[in-house]
Structure 1
Amino acid sequence: MKIVITGGPGGGKTTALELFRRELLGKVWIIQESASAIFSSGISRDDNEDILKAIQKTIYYYQKNVEEIHTLQHPNKILLCDRGTLDGLAYWPNSREGFFECINSSFEKELHSYDAVIHFETAAVKGQDITTNNPFRNESNEAAIELDNKLKEIWKAHPNFHVVESKGSFIDKIINGVKTIQAVIDQ
């Protein structure tokens, strides 16, 4: 089973994944966010359209290859992906068609390469703080909401799509997120 954990910046995805990994030690494998790996290599965020496209293409192929490696190395574990291959579409500067042409794939192929999608809504939607420990995440609340909406729109086509809303306290949200992950796994 391969599950995408997605959502806008400051949604609690990484925190929930870490708690869930501890809860089900030995049963799940976490695939870390590819964008953070790319940006930690010295590549900087950039608004130049050609550079942005090259970055998103790199993130896509890195994600795809890492997922394949972990699938082969951990065949008996549930793979929980901190973001999925379609997340790059939310950052792509032009048309959807250009994204799929660049990665030589299709929306349907990417969507159906996952068994479920769980969207953690950004805390910015409720006006909450989205400060993160991730030094590569620097979006404003407005940008986080815009990305969150784009990601929700992209992934909602998946037949096993779930949303963990940003309401109440962060701890309640993380608990609800972990319960959602557990419910998807138990299906």
Structure 2
Amino acid sequence: MKKQLKVVVTGGPGGGKTTALDLFRRELCQQIAVVPEAATVLFAGGITRSHSEHVVKVVQKAIFSLQKNLEDIQEKQYPDKLLVCDRGTLDGLAYWPGSESDFFREVDSNFEHEVARYDAVIFFESAATTGHDITSNNPARNESSEQAAKLDKKLQKVWSRHPHFYFVGNSESFVRKIMFGIMTIENVINRHNR
């Protein structure tokens, strides 16, 4: 039996990820299944954000666990499709108020195990990194442009360690970003089918 493929689409707030995923879903509907973003599921369900370090850690542990479970659900529901994950388990490192080793101790895992969950990473750089407006169509997002730019750098530092990391810069036109993402997903599928 072939291993089911998983691609993460991530990046700082305001990178166009949500819109891109919607277009990927439309363009590649027969080939992919999208795993929703765990943080959005949690915050849209009534969990409120907090600045308390203890609460942030508990929330990030819940997001990590929920992300894994959402991926498991989609794997079982769509065994013949490539999974496109709206963020991945390593995104929590950018939001974690402690060290990387502390994060992995709390979630009972390690970097190598988590990075191996995914066959490729498509990183959409936030418009905030160049000072552009990041007004979002995601009501669960509330970061300022400055916060979004910092998160983008942290997320990039984490995910760029993946062996198949594809960076989509903010300077690209949105149409080019989408085309690059679709081509990357198709390349992952084709590489696996050889």
Distance (whole Å) between structure 2 residues aligned to residue 79 and residue 177 of structure 1: 14
SS at structure 2 position matched to 1:176: helix
Q: Identical aligned pairs, as a percentage?
A: 53
Q: 2:143 corresponds to which residue?
A: 139
Aligned to 1:116: 120
Q: TM (normalized to structure 2)?
A: 0.92
Whole-angstrom distance in 1 between the partners of 2:94 and 2:75:
25
The TM-score with structure 1 as length reference comes to: 0.95
The answer to whether the 8 Å contact 2:36/2:70 transfers is: no
SS of equivalent residue, structure 2 residue 121: strand
- Which residue number in structure 2 is paired with residue 24 of structure 1? 28
Letter in 2 for 1:150: K
State the match for 1:183 in structure 2. Answer: 187
| Structure 2: tracts of 5 or more residues without a match | none
The alignment's C-alpha RMSD in Å is 1.3
Matched, 1:98 2:85: no
Q: CA deviation at 1:59?
A: 0.3
SS in 2 for 1:79: strand
2:8 counterpart of 1:9:
no
Distance 1:89 1:157 in 2: 13
- For the residue of structure 1 that corresponds to 2:85, the secondary structure is strand
- Cα distance in 1 for partners of 2:6, 2:73 equals 13
Q: Provide closer, same or farther for how the CA distance between residues 127 and 169 of structure 1 changes in structure 2, counting only shifts above 3 A.
A: farther
Q: Whole-Å Cα distance in 2 between the matches of residues 140 and 184 of structure 1?
A: 34
What is the identity, as a one-letter code, of the residue corresponding to 1:41?
G
Match of 2:41 in 1: 37
> Would the aligned equivalents of 1:130 and 1:141 in 2 still touch at CA under 8 Å?
yes
Q: Which one-letter code corresponds to 1:157 in the other structure?
A: R
Which letter maps to 1:144?
A
TM-aligned CA deviation for residue 126 of structure 1: 2.2
